[in-house]
A and B are shown apart, each in its own frame.
Chain A
Amino acid sequence: MNWWRNIFFGLGFVLKAASAATLQIEITPKVSGENLQPASLRYQTSAGETFSITRVSYLVSDFALQRSDGSWLEISNSVAWLDFDQNRNSIWLEKIPPGEFGTLRFTVGLNTNLNHADIAKFPASHPLNPNVNGLHWSWQGGFIFLALEGLWRNAAGELDGWAYHLARDTNATRITLAAPLVVTNETKVELDFDLANLLNAPRPLSFGKDGSSTHSRDGDPISAALVANLPGAFRVHKITSLTDSEIAVAHPKPLYLPEKFTPYSFQMSATFPMPDLPRDNPLTVERVELGKTLFFDKRVSINDAQSCADCHAPNKAFTDGRKTARGAEGEFGRRNSMPLFNLAWKREFFWDGRAKSLREQVLQPIQNPIEMHQSLTNLVVKLQSEKLENGERQTETDYPALFTAAFGSREITAEKISLALENYLLTLASFNAKFDRVLHGEEKFTPEEQRGFELFSTEYDPRRGQFGADCFHCHGGPLFQSQNFANNGLDSEFADAGRAKVTGKDSDQGKFAVPSLRNVALTSPYMHDGRFGTLEEVIAHYSTGVRRTTTLDPNLAKHPDGGVPLGAADQRALAAFLRTLTDAQFAAEK
């Protein structure tokens, strides 16, 4: 469970005794009063266009309640990120003094101060931490207030993408709702956010007529219509009281913390958002050291032939240069070895995101029969038996001593192995590429790299005169990645179902984790199956090779067939820019 929920619930528990109540506002996306069916081509615009909705992600802030005497109770610091896919649908407003209120007011979007706050300063759990919400407008500053995406069938009957991103200070929209509230205890207000209203009334939008994308540039009619329609899209559904059972637990305690330990100095770029580092597995020098030793130790595999580093070599940004991974016994897997860096900002691991934490992830390749093929029991025995034999050590590695330093006892367990590896992997931070040095004014882009950066961070939207390569939607922000899984149009039929294997949803067919583009020049070959050998091939794919299917990411589906038309010089410029993301210092470290 996310920390922010714990914090809110924890506070709620304390405050109850102090006779101030917690007010939960739950907002549920609906379509014409019915529950939203995600990724289902069942909806129609007023112009008769069939469409689906795949993403509803937005920021709400500045909540206020009007007292019966007409005065307003402004609730300071009230801001939430709500996201349909992530089941984030509530904000908990604390310290509401008991009383009667008649009207609820809030803003879709953020006020100017919040919208332009220093994003690197938000705590890991804060709703405005870009790594949490994925709504930060990359290098241009400011947040996307509301991201709506989906697919639609155009006049020719073909599937096309739509992406409405509402942003910019002037588009923050105030919502005022009559909500008769008597706050005595924990109270919950359920609101409906009707997307049919949002796209229809009073200003009907048509993807064909008005355009299938907006990025809220000045004078954009779509964003103006969304702003006009927003106030009517919210309705009060129900007002109830919260039960005590919903009040949850405090922070987890650190696991196996020894009496003596040295906190590890985790270095990251000052432009990165705060990561959600594990509180129950604190980063310590001793644990990182143990994890690193395990990572490079070939005895972790069944036949002592392969260490983690064989598929994740530091000089290749922790990849192996192969199309797909080769196991300890020579068998090839189905997928490309993933690069390992800046993992502290990821929530799900593997190409299909089947592991929810690194500690869960690391034990899988060890046991996988076509990878290291080692049973955990056997591994523990092996590491323990590195102990004494004829009074001498078999090897130089004294694992019991390392485990003692890291966890306070000589006992070796699979859990401790996973915690140590997690510790080490979290410390792999890469933030000293040429791009970063340009950012800090220490180096300059060549004109070609500059052009590539411009293409990278500009949308492709001919209707509004924008002809970029539109890369930043998925690979934006200082980490050049998003937390999403996306189908990037590699195939018409999916040999590998990808994310759908984990979620069981048809709408996830052919989706894979969106990788970071940092160090991308070091991680060839590319894609989950290593099908592309060069950056040039990858760029050509996004220009001419994108295949249309029902799960194609809307940000790609909105482009012409094949992809974003890019000339040869622009493709070269883009590759030149991508090469500025290589962190040579990181690749040289051992």
Chain B
Amino acid sequence: MKITFFAIIFWAVSATAYADPQITSWFTLDSDKFAQLYRTEAEKNSGQAETTWSNGRNTQAQPAYCGVQEILSSSNWIYVRSTGLGSQIMGPWRNGRFPNLPTDQHFIFALPRHPSVQTSSGFNRLFEIGMFVDGVRMFDACDAFSYSHENGQDANPRAGIGQGDHVWNRDALVNEAKTFDAALAHQQNFGTYHYHVEPIALRYELGDHVDFDPVIRTYHESLGAPTKHSPILGWMHDGYPVYGPYGYSNPTNPASGLRRMVSGFILRNGENGADNLTQTGRKTWPAWAARETRTPAKLDANEFGPNVSEQYPLGHYIEDYAYLGDLGKTPGKDFDLDELNGRWCMTPEFPQGTYAYFTTIDANGKPVYPYNMGRRYHGNPYGRVVSGIYEPVTTNFLAHAGLAAIAPTPKSTTLLWNAGTGGYDAK
């Protein structure tokens, strides 16, 4: 009943006052539901979801709501208040052995309303790069670690090696997928739930060509060809949208049919014009990495990565990928997306065209590098989590009173003096 009520508000907002996708794209149908998770496979198999949890490190002592709680706007900014928790049932992560659990992050994300193209192209510090429309954070394609040449192994806090050289940077999917839940998300040590790759559970909720198997509680790409353009899955810090994998075949012709967007990145395995790291060793950088960091592609000996091996397979580091645009191929003809993983195109929400990122999957429906964004933003990344709102705003959506995580409590207590004990009894 309540869900319908909020859905109506949302519809009214989107249909009348605003046609701005930055306001209308947010997923709010579950905003008044408590977030839930499974801690173990056993809980998942028996359908025993929890609304409060603790593992000593991360505690959710009282239920918290799912994702987006409030959307506010001014002339230059959209503010989205979110718990950061997914609306699908989250978890389990490594059957309860992953040390972190998600918690209510109650943050306000500010998104620039008027994206502007970065004029000085160059390397952007990446980490948190955007926000998905269900209010869950988007992290970049890397995990926090890279190869340490001096130590001859990947950085590893347990081995006392900080974060490595940042020359050969680990791919988050390759190295962390074992800690992802069925939605392909996990959380860092402070409890921030996030995706590094395609948000498959969100895509299912948005009807983006994904099926859910209720028996084994997993998601997979639907069979057959997509019948509609993918929806907006999220927004990068630069204010440009991120779409699901399916766009128009011809970027400027909505009648040109649909296809899965093909990224410009390929493994450096000797095929398609790429060099072969298995033969040469990891002694050079791909051209795109050299260009974006403005350093030579030829590495010094103390920057060499480990030889390709079972322990360090091709794809272990993002620098194991080459960009087809550097190999004589043409974006828009031989492949779809530029080295930032986007393109200028028309979309259902932007009939006049926009720069748009696309989440990338392979022909089997598995996430493929660079997942959501390359190593740089197209626009100026002014979006960020802010501590408060310091300008007049319009409320576009309010899930409930906004006092997240306060469970229903009885309203009053009565105390009565008890002559027997000489004390007061609570009722």
Contact = CB atoms under 8 A, between A and B. Distances in A.
A439 B72 CA distance: 22
Contact of B422 (A170, A251, A271, A445): A251
A263 B423 CA distance: 12
Contacts of B393: 447
B255 interface: no
Interface string A262-285: 011111111110110101001110
Interface of A: 112, 115-116, 120, 124, 139, 141-142, 169-170, 218-219, 251, 253-254, 257, 263-272, 274-275, 277, 279, 282-284, 431, 436, 438-441, 443-445, 447, 450-451, 454-455, 458, 465-468, 567, 569-570
B297 interface: no
A455 B415 contact: no
A218 B190 contact: yes
A570 B417 contact: no
B390 A270 contact: no
Given A170-B57, A268-B413, A438 B422 contact: no
B402 interface: yes
Contacts, number: 116
A279 B423 contact: yes
A439 B403 contact: yes
Contacts of B401: 438-439, 441, 443-445
A465 B385 CA distance: 10
Contacts of A436: 411
A200 B61 CA distance: 34
CB-CB nearest 7 A-B residue pairs: A116-B61, A282-B417, A266-B415, A270-B410, A218-B190, A263-B416, A263-B417
B330 interface: no
Given A219-B190, A282-B419, 8 more contacts: A112-B54, A141-B405, A263-B418, A265-B414, A265-B416, A266-B414, A266-B415, A282-B417
B422 A279 contact: yes
Contacts of A455: 388
A219 B189 CA distance: 10
B412 interface: yes
Interface residues of B, number: 39
Contacts of A465: 387
B387 A267 contact: no
A124 B426 CA distance: 11
Nearest to B55: A112
B14 interface: no
B160 interface: no
A569 B392 contact: yes
Interface of B: 54, 56-57, 59, 61-62, 72, 190, 387-393, 395, 398, 400-403, 405-406, 408-419, 422-424, 426
B388 A467 contact: yes
Could you tell me the dominant secondary structure of chain B's interface residues?
Answer: loop
Nearest to A112: B54
A568 to B, nearest CB: 11
B62 A454 contact: no
Contacts of B389: 451
Given A279-B422, A447-B72, A455-B388, A440 B54 contact: no
A436 B412 CA distance: 11
A439 B406 contact: yes
Contacts of B387: 458, 465-467
Given A112-B54, A266-B416, A440 B408 contact: yes
A388 B388 CA distance: 69
Contacts of A282: 417, 419
Contacts of A124: 424
Given A431-B412, A444-B400, A570 B423 contact: no
Contact of B415 (A141, A277, A466, A569): A277
A458 B424 CA distance: 36
Given A141-B62, A279-B423, A441 B402 contact: no
Contacts of B391: 569
A413 B408 CA distance: 47
Contacts of A254: 419, 422
A467 B389 CA distance: 10
A269 B388 contact: no
Nearest to B402: A450
Nearest to B57: A170
B17 to A, nearest CB: 16
Nearest to A279: B422
9 contacts: A263-B416, A264-B416, A266-B415, A274-B426, A277-B417, A282-B419, A438-B403, A465-B387, A468-B388
Contacts of B406: 139, 439
B412 A270 contact: yes
